[in-house]
Amino acid sequence: MATTSSTTTKVTLPADKEILITREFDAPREVVFKAMIDPDLIPRWWGPRKYKTTVDKMDVRPGGAWRYITAEPDGRESAFRGEYREIVPNERIVQTFEWEPMAGHISVDSATFTEHDGRTLLTVRSTFASKEDRDGMVQSGIDVEARSSATRGDARRRVARGARRARNRGARTRTPPAGRVRSRTRRRGPSRLRRSRSRSVPRRR
């Protein structure tokens, strides 16, 4: 059963207690992975498009806690929190997820990053304690929108731009292969050397 589907993001309900979200990014997986663990990047993409997100706490390690606060245009705030359970760099993030207005209804999110030909498929599988919990979150719309914000269009563009900047920086700082390093200092030939000396020595009168 598909709840949402587009050319870029797909949200499905593969089992009674699950929500599955997938999206492909035009960026290497280390760039996509960093966007999900860097507190400076989280506010740029997390949460509904018109909301402002603030990172209150983010301790990215197994057992570490995270908490984000989203502010609506009218000033109303809502908070989300959880705990990291597993961190495999550039491959996998497992964390719990809880929307504070529905405290006690905790799910487990498993995000995997699969790269092929420079593109990354992000798969987020959310597992709930019961079908009722899953359905309650789907009906509220808050949970699905918050989770799928990682795959929304502007986030995808930002990740792609970050990937291009990283590639450009790498190209500018790339070291030539051994044996092909060329000195920028030009050797002066005999004629240039003679001209240089003639200019530096004053003429006799």
Nearest to 78 by CA among 107, 110, 108, 46: 46
pLDDT tens-place string over residues 107-118: 999 999 999 999
Q: What is the pLDDT of residue 9?
A: 82
Cβ neighbour number for residue 149 with a 10 Å cutoff: 20
Instruction: Report residue 145's pLDDT band, with 50, 70 and 90 as the boundaries.
Output: low
Helix (H, G, I), strand (E, B) or coil at 163: helix
The CATH superfamily of 2-170 is START domain (3.30.530.20)
Helix (H, G, I), strand (E, B) or coil at 171: helix
d(CA 60, CA 66): 8
How would you list the strands of the sheet with 18-25, edge to edge? 2-5, 9-12, 18-25, 119-127, 107-116, 92-99, 77-88, 65-71, 52-58
Put simply, whether the predicted model's pTM sits higher than 0.95 gets the answer no
Q: What is the pLDDT of residue 182?
A: 40
pLDDT tens-place string over residues 10-31: 889 999 999 999 999 999 999 9
d(CA 109, CA 121): 16
